[in-house]
């Protein structure tokens, strides 16, 4: 790591779940002043076209499961530190919100260890965007009074006892990064006796023009959705509130099987030499 006298600042900001209009005004202002922008894969290109300064250096640091070009978290940390120590004004732009399943802790620890000033700007997380654009209130009287954000990705510490508790709760369950293992999620919930009143919704590419919502009862999952490959990113909502989708859906399903967010292998960065 190089040694520099000038210290910059890193702003860690959420870009929202996809629709570029869902970005916050504060993040827009930060992008306009940024000299360097480190961008996740799940950030709309339109945001950069609209709001990034023309002179800003764009560095793509996206991650995508089993894909060539995925950026290791250690590399992202090193870039944040390097640009910060060069005295640059940096925006670390993350999809959704910065504090929900985003590895923000690793980045904060790296900045603190090198005494680099930072700021955190929240964004609309995927669960809120997906629920709103699917017409599914995450909490609603007589349906749910609380919501839980979970993941069942490559590894999970959820015990059988916890799965049992999840089947009994009236909370809405929202699973991030879990669509590839959705069959396992459904099997665990149905095996532990989850209520037949509860349904699941899979929201593909939420809030984008390519959004598509799939709804099924958990006990009919094998018949309706088993073996289906969902377009990334996909978010899963489970609970009685999903029953409200049919009545309150307002955003048209798009059956196109295309990616709104470019695969990491197609993103080209200008990186620090």
CB atoms within 10 A of CB 119: 12
Domain extents for the chain? 9-124, 127-248
223 Cβ partners below 8 Å, 6+ apart?
Answer: none
270 Cβ partners below 8 Å, 6+ apart?
Answer: 57, 58, 59
CB 30 within 8 A of CB 94: no
- The tens digit of pLDDT for each residue in 83-138 reads 999 999 999 999 999 999 999 999 999 999 999 999 999 999 999 999 999 999 99
How far CA 105 is from CA of 14, 38, 61, in Å, comes to 14, 16, 16
- The verdict on whether 63 is a catalytic residue reads yes
3-class SS at 201?
strand
- Say which of 6, 9, 26, 63 is annotated catalytic: 63
The mean pLDDT of 209-223, rounded to a whole number, is 97
In this prediction, residue 155 carries a pLDDT of 60
Domain topology for 9-124: Cobalt-precorrin-4 Transmethylase; domain 1 (3.40.1010)
Domain topology for 127-248: 3.30.950
- The verdict on whether 40 is a catalytic residue reads yes
The mean pLDDT of 24-41, rounded to a whole number, is 98
- The tens digit of pLDDT for each residue in 164-196 reads 999 999 999 999 999 999 999 999 999 999 999
In this prediction, residue 63 carries a pLDDT of 80
In this prediction, residue 1 carries a pLDDT of 47
- The tens digit of pLDDT for each residue in 36-48 reads 999 999 999 999 9
Q: How confident is the model at residue 157 (pLDDT cuts 50, 70, 90)?
A: confident
- Say which of 40, 94, 97, 198 is annotated catalytic: 40
- The region of weakest confidence among 1-15, 41-55, 116-130, 213-227 is 1-15
């Amino acid at each position: 790591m190089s040694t520099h006298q000038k210290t910059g600042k890193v702003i860690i900001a959420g870009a929202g779940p996809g629709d570029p209009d869902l970005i916050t005004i504060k993040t827009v202002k930060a992008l306009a002043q940024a000299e360097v922008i480190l961008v996740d894969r799940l950030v709309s290109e339109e945001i950069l076209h609209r709001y990034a300064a023309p002179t800003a250096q764009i560095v793509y640091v996206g991650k995508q499961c089993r894909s060539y070009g995925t950026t290791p978290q250690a590399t992202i940390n090193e870039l944040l530190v390097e640009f910060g120590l060069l005295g640059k004004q940096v925006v670390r732009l993350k999809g959704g919100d910065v504090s929900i399943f985003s590895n923000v802790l690793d980045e904060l620890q790296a900045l603190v260890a090198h005494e680099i000033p930072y700021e955190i700007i929240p964004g609309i997380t995927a669960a809120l965007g997906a629920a709103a654009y699917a017409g599914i209130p995450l909490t609603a009287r007589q349906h749910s009074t609380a919501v839980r954000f979970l993941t069942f990705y490559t590894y999970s510490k959820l015990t059988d006892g916890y799965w049992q508790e999840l089947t009994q709760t009236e909370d809405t369950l929202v699973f991030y990064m879990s669509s590839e293992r959705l069959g396992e999620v459904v099997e665990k919930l149905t095996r532990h006796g989850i209520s037949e009143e509860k349904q699941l919704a899979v929201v593909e590419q939420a809030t984008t023009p390519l959004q598509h919502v799939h709804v099924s009862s958990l006990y009919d999952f094998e018949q309706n959705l088993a073996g289906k490959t969902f377009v990334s990113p996909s978010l899963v909502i489970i609970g009685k509130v999903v029953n409200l989708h049919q009545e309150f859906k307002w955003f048209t399903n798009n059956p196109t099987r295309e990616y709104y967010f470019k695969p990491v292998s197609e993103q080209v960065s200008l990186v620090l030499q």
